[in-house]
Each structure stands twice: as C-alpha cells, then as structure tokens.
Chains A and B, each alone.
Chain A
Amino acid sequence: MAKRDLLSMSDLSRADVELILDTAESFLPVLKRDIKKVPTLRGRTIVNMFFESSTRTSTSFELAAKRLSADTMSIKASGSAVDKGESLKDTILTLSAYSPDIIVMRHPHIGAGRLAARYTTASVINAGDGKYQHPTQALLDVFTLRQTLGKDLAGLNVWIVGDILHSRVARSDIEAFQLLGMQVTVAGPPPLIPRDIEALGVKVAYDLGKLREADVVYLLRMQMERMQAGANYVPSLREYSALYGMTAARLRAGQKVMHPGPINRGVEISAEVADHPDTLILEQVEAGVAVRMAILYRTIVGYDERQPGERGAA
C-alpha cells in the first residue's frame, strides 16, 4: 500500500472525510470507558515534531496515539539538532532512519509538511504549516458540528470572523466546510482579508451587519503580533473589539459559536459568549482526540475499508 500523507484538506475527498468522521465516532465510546485504551496500533511508531509552540494539537495527538497503543516520540525544535542549524531535510532523514510509521509535524513555514514528505517513507500528517493548512483542526471542527447539528451539514451558513490573512485554520476550514456543502462568508478588517479570496468561493464582509444569517459563527484569535505599532492591520485592539468582537448582543438565539483556541476573552470573544451553552469551544477540544485517533488509524490501515468501527473500537 502506498503511503498516504495528510498535508492539506485537498488530500481528502468527501467520502474520505465522512469515513474519518465515522471512524472518530466509533472511537468515542473508548474515550468514555475507565480503561481508555485499545491495542489497535500496538507496535506502530509515531513521531510528533513540533517546530512551533502548541498545546491543544500536540497534546491531543500524543493522547490519541497513546489511546491506540502506539509508541510515540515527541521532538521540539528547541533542544534538538534544529538549534544547531540542522535543515528540515536532514532532521527528517535522520528521524526516518528509525522507520516511524507516521510523522506528525507542525512547522512555521508553508509547505514544510510536503517538503518533509518527499524525504521520508513515513506518512506525514500536517499539524499546522505556517499560514497554509491545519487539516486535523478542520476535521475536528466538522466533527464537532456533525455531533451537534446532525450528519447533514449541507446548506448551513458559516461565518469565519477575524484575521483571515494569517490563518491556516481559516484556509483549512473553508475547504472542509465547502466539501460538506456549507456556504462560507469571511469577515474581518479589510487589511486582514486576503485580496482575491472570493476566488475560493467565499463571500466577503467587512462588517457584521448580516451576521444573523449565519448558522455557525467561527471566531479566530486576534494574534497580538498583528497589533504591534506600525503593522497597521488595525489601528487598535479597542477598535477591533468594537467592530468585530463577539458579544451576546451581536448573536441571535441558536447560533453556534466556535473558536480554535486559545481565546482572548474581551478581544474577539466576550466572556458571556465564551461561556454560553451554544458555544462549542470545549466540544472542539474534546473532539480533537477522537478525530486524531481516527486520522492516525486511517493513515495506517487505509481509507479503503468503508465499514468503520468494529476493529477500531474493539
């Protein structure tokens, strides 16, 4: 079987996505048991390489691998040979000498996963590459929606609000939402909306006047480095919050609110919204483990088996 990488959402068909989501669902009971472990990937080796800081993604990948009984190694850029000037190519070649089955990689540069995939026989799973893709986040986002709103997400309207320009979550989620038939609007300050993004089939809004048409409001973190003096993406945090911060007053009853975390309370999201039952932030975190278990499992056993569950959850 040829190795299968997961580098961007475009590596997946709609059927692949549905298979991953069904597989994730079959793993949910495992995570609710007292002994939260299955022997499915015993003897398999998974390397987690995080060249960029991460809490949620790295811990949930590690937990997912352990729940499946795989052997895991975690490498961070600091304290490794990367500090000594080793190139990405050489780091990958070196780790590949241990014959891992999967390399999970986060890297600050776009396309780093694809570059790594060229130099290893391991399957590479992209856990975030610069501003381009974060496919496992997108998959857990659609999984969360499916668990909340039901299997058919087609026709739902989602607004992604905030710094679209620098967001790999936005780029992956646009593809994932569209793949499942959802309509996407991106909203935010004009300097933070990429030029020509309409070509991706999304609508663009510079204000939240029509936000109530959304079934789902997906908030992005306002990254503090964008707020530095002279960057001029927005004049101030204060004005950003006034125009785009999500408050209860902006929302109508029943609208679901999502956020990839970490959140800045009082900036892109008010405390009231953050703690509201229609806000799915913790559901997203919880979904992370099951979805990443499903991705690790499918990457190793393949996407051909269309009967999910029994073996995985056994």
Chain B
Amino acid sequence: MPALGLAVGQTIGGFRLDECIHVGGMASLWRVSALEGGPARVMKIPLLRYGEDPAAIVSFEVEQMIMPRLTGIHVPQLISSGDFDLPYLVFELIAGHWLKSRLDDLPLPFAEVAAIGGKIATALHDLHRQHVIHLDIKPSNVMVRESGEAVLIDFGLSRHEELPDLMAEEFHVPIGTGAYISPEQLLYNRSDPRSDLFALGVLMYFLATGQRPFGDPVKVGGWRRRLYRDPIPPRLIRDDIPPWLQELILRCLEVDAKARHATAGQLAFDLQHPGAIVLTERAERRERSSLFTVATRYYLAARGRPQFVQTCSHQLARAPIVMAAVDLSNGAEPLAEGLRLTVRRILQTEQSARLACVNVLKLARVALDEFEDEHGRNRHLQRLAALKLWAHPLQLPAEAATYHVLESTDPAGAILDYARNNLVDHIIIGARGTSSLRRHLGSVSARVVAEAPCTVTVVRTARQAFLPEEAAS
C-alpha cells in the first residue's frame, strides 16, 4: 500500500518499516521492528505534507503531548517518539482484535454488547482518572486485548485538562466524528468526561441494532440534529434487547450531560449488575418524541450556547462509587448504626455518589451445596431484606443505591474482589473490636485496609473506647 513515499524496509528512528497496516485521513500505521531486535511495534506517522489538512498536524501534536502521560492497560504503551524533523510515535503492538472488525456481524447479541460496553466504560474511567477525555470514542478507536480489556487508541482529538487544548485553539468548529460526537462538543465544550459516555451510547446502540442512532451526517448542521431529535428506541428495532439495556443506552444518549451517568465507572457498575438497574420511562419507551416536543427543543437549541463549567477531575471527584460493607450479624447493631452515620456524612458532601451496600453471607468451607437449595435462597433473600432495612433510614433515591449479598468462605477476600471488580472509590467498613484474639488472628477490616485498591474508612461505635476489651470484641 503506498503511503507518502514511505516504503517497506525503510528505517525511521531506529525502526525498520515491515508492513503498512493502515492509511487513514490523518496518519499511516506501520508494523515495525527495532533494528536492535525485540518484539514487533506499531509506528504512527502523520500526514504532514505541505497543504495537508492542518487537523492532521495538530492532532498528531495532541498525541505527542498526551501519550507520554498515560499509563495502564487501557491505553497503548508508548515506546518511542520522533520530533519535528521526523515525526512519529511508536506503540506496543496490541495482541487482540479491533472492535471495528465486529461490525460485519451486526447486530450483536445483547449480552456481548453489554460486555463490550462494560469493558469500554472501565477503560474510559481509567482514562478519565488520568485527566484525559477521549472525545472520539467509536469502534475504530477501540481494540480488545486477548486478555479481554478494552484499549482506547487514537488520542488525536483528546483533551488533557492539565495541558493546553491545541485543538480548541486552532479550530473554531466542533471537532469529532459525525455519528458519535456529543451535544457538548457541538456546543464547543471539550471539558466534560460525560461526552465519552454519549459516544459510548452511540456505539452500544450501533452494536445492538446495526443502525446508528443519529445516522452518519457529514455536515455540522446534520450533526446538530441530535440536540433536538431523539433516536428511535433500540427495542423498536430489535425486540429482544432487554429493557435494562435500552435504559442504559438511552441514558447515555441524553442531550443533557447531567441526565447521563455521572461517571464511566458508574455506567460500568450498572453494566455489571443489570438486575440492580432502576428502570425509568426510558426502558419501555416505544416511540420518539412528538413533533411538538422536538420543535420546542429545536427552538431552545437554536437559542445559543449554554456555558459549561466542568472539568474531568471535578466531575469524577463528585461522583464516587462508595461501598458500605455492612455486618448484619447478631450484636453488630451499634456498629451498623455507626456505619450508617458515616455513610450519610459522605453522601451528603458528594451529591452524585453511588452507594453499593454489601453484606457477606459466610459459607462453611465444606457445605457449598447447601446454598443451592431452598434454605440457601431464603437466607440470601433474608440478608438482602436486612440490608435494605439497614439502608432505609438513609432515604436514598432508588437509583443512588444498590444492594448485594456476596456468598463466600472468605469475607475480606469477597469485599476486596468486589471493590476491584466494580471500580469502587471508597470502602466504609466497621471494626468489630480490639480483643487480643482479633489482633492475633487478624480481622476482616484490618485485611481490607491493608489490601484495598482504594480509600478505606474504618468505623467504630461511639462508645467503643469505654467498653471493656472482651465486651467490645
């Protein structure tokens, strides 16, 4: 494949070009190998010829700025880069598949759509925590590693909140991909991480139905239609899509970012726990808005640009996933009450927080089968009811809390696994006592504190200091 006079066998920056993988509108991608040996890599070489689209140059500069600052499994690892005379970026060659390659098989089974959506939401949350909003999420910019994680690629349109926004300074038009661009980007706001949730909603809609919710408009005027014209509900196109998935997709596609999930982490949480999603009118929607509603929205959308004040880290900080590990055993009531008080304090300051109330039903090491039977199911349901009873005085709106009874022989391990798998930001757990036996054997809370992937608050009862040691244990 010819690309800019580059040829197989040519050497750039200590790498030999082995094969041209892709030639896009802004850059070409080559499989390369280092002259001194080592694994195959990918080199991205921008189209920087005179008279080329300046967007190609600026987007390459954006990647030059952002890529060295990103780490982790959800982005391609940067190996090397070249400067002005010889601009290029060298990345790891990702073993896995390109999400775009699944587009031939649309529509995909809904379970696969949810799984892919969950992987991308998890990757986005990791990205947002690094102060970066991608702003061009679409199937061609997502890869899936063989180990299962989504990898986000092509950061040419992205925004790093701690670096100058070269794109916004250069181009005074909305920048993005017509089918996926969010309403905020159309209104010149490039600082809201929830823009990536909108694009992910478009992607999930497309994967689930085979159709794009807003088509694939070429001109900005066509892009703006999404500000007032809502998409056809996905279940109208494919009636086997479950209501909860329609609920999530349509929530991602809300024009007002505030109506979407507060963070990608919260969306990932919902995709992992479909049974816990609170269904609204969106889930059962069978028709698009009336022409009168559309006309009203059109009028409002035409009235100018709202001002947004939002940054990536601010939005993430106000919307944590808080996990309350509640002990419901006999004698733990004062502690459960103290836990509730602490949870209340935290939720009061973080208005967009999600609370996951978790209780561990401890299994005996041998009798696993017991819980398959009627008795086991009953115990599980009883615990769930007790957990809801515990949370009831908090008076939380239904969508702000979820309830989970975990069954495990190892309560601390179960709590830690749950926190890792659900992007939990903050664990609140009670410490039952300070007896010498506990100190020697190690308590659940001590192990959670030691091994948790996030902040942990340990709660004690108010009167613990005044209780004799044995009574406190």
Do A and B pair up? The answer is: no
A positions within 8 Å CB-CB of B? none
Residues of B that sit less than 8 Å from A by CB: none
